[in-house]
């Protein structure tokens, strides 16, 4: 009986010691790298189709506040682009516009775990989470004409900055984004974590693709003599490549009531940083 009692006491002490050790380890945060795909949604992709993913890469630092809540600072580079030729809508195929842009983004996000997450603890190695925040990004849409790259913002393709359209100001190449997403993460080893996240970026710009409202028309882009067409004239209405021109002044070119968006789907690997609490005196 004495042996059984002694064995039970040893077991209790071992379990208590392991919990005390766990309590002394505090996760401070993580630093990591993410890589994956980005996708654009807007006037050229208004059906939310996933037909033209492009690469994305990011760096982040996450400050942990307990096992459930964290604050994340991240930087991203991504490439976005789309073309009307991917659409099944006849108007878009005739419109025949396209764009590409590089995205440079900085964001601040709150991460909220569904379960307690403690790297190095076999009881808490996994959790789904949600994330939301605010950020800012730089963009500058461009298109190709006869193999030559042209930035669209300075061309005023919808009459921006002209006397004919005083309400259409040149748009900025800086905008705000509002990330909202969810993911899962798993602790591979004591200090290494793996995560997969999908996060949507709502923005406050409708010119990510250089398409927003109506065609400027002849008042801004008069029909030139053959061979005298300017780059702006050729890029503001490319329907001439698919048939008769449709770019009449005032005719719908985009949909200004809805802002453009983009999405990241990424795999991330991170290193955890921990500190130690002093054990309570007993």
* Average confidence (pLDDT) per 10 residues, the chain, 282 residues: 48 43 68 98 94 98 93 98 96 97 99 90 91 99 97 97 94 98 94 97 98 95 86 96 94 95 98 72 52
The pLDDT value recorded for residue 280 is 57
- Identify whether 124 is part of a domain: yes
With residue 235 as reference, give the H or E element that holds it. helix 231-236
Q: Which of 26, 58, 25, 43 is nearest to 95 (CA)?
A: 43
- Residues β-bridged to residue 149: 144
In a domain? residue 233: no
- Could you list the residue range(s) of the whole structural domain that residue 108 is in? 19-139+174-213+257-276
pLDDT the model gives residue 22: 46
Q: Provide the domain count of the chain.
A: 1
In this prediction, residue 263 carries a pLDDT of: 98
Does residue 243 lie in a domain region?
A: no
pTM of the model: 0.86
Say if CB 140 and CB 102 are below 8 A apart: yes
Structural domain contains residue 69: yes
What's the residue count for the chain?
282
- Residue at 1 is within a domain: no
C-alpha to C-alpha distances, 87 to 3, 49, 92, nearest whole angstrom: 78, 9, 6
Give the model's pLDDT for residue 34: 98
9 occurs within a structural domain: no
Instruction: Confirm whether 281 is domain-assigned.
Output: no
Structure confidence at residue 28 (pLDDT) = 83
**Domain CATH number, residue 200:** 2.40.160.20
Q: Residue 46 falls within a domain, yes or no?
A: yes
């Amino acid at each position: 009986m004495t042996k059984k009692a002694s064995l039970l006491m040893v077991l209790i002490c071992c379990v208590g010691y392991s919990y005390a050790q766990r309590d002394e380890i505090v996760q401070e945060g993580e630093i990591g790298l993410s890589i994956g795909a980005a996708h654009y949604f807007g006037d050229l992709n208004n059906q939310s189709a996933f037909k033209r993913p492009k690469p994305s890469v990011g760096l982040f630092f996450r400050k942990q506040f307990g096992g459930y809540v964290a604050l994340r600072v991240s930087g991203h580079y991504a490439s976005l682009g789309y073309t009307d030729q991917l659409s099944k809508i006849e108007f878009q195929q005739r419109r025949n516009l396209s764009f590409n842009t590089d995205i440079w983004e900085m964001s601040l996000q709150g991460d909220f775990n569904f379960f307690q997450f403690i790297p190095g603890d076999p009881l808490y190695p996994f959790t789904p989470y949600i994330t939301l925040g605010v950020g800012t990004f730089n963009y500058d849409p461009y298109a190709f004409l006869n193999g030559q790259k042209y930035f669209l913002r300075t061309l005023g393709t919808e009459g921006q900055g002209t006397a004919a359209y005083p309400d259409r100001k040149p748009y900025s190449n800086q905008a705000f984004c509002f990330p909202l997403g969810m993911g899962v993460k798993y602790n591979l080893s004591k200090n290494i974590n793996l995560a997969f996240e999908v996060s949507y970026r709502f923005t406050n710009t409708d010119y990510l693709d250089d398409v927003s409202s109506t065609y400027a028309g002849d008042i801004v882009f008069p029909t030139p003599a053959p061979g005298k067409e300017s780059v702006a004239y050729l890029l503001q209405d490319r329907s001439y490549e698919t048939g008769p021109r449709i770019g009449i002044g005032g005719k719908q070119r985009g949909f200004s009531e809805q802002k453009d968006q983009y999405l990241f789907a990424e795999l991330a690997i991170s290193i955890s940083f921990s500190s130690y609490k002093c054990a309570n005196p007993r």
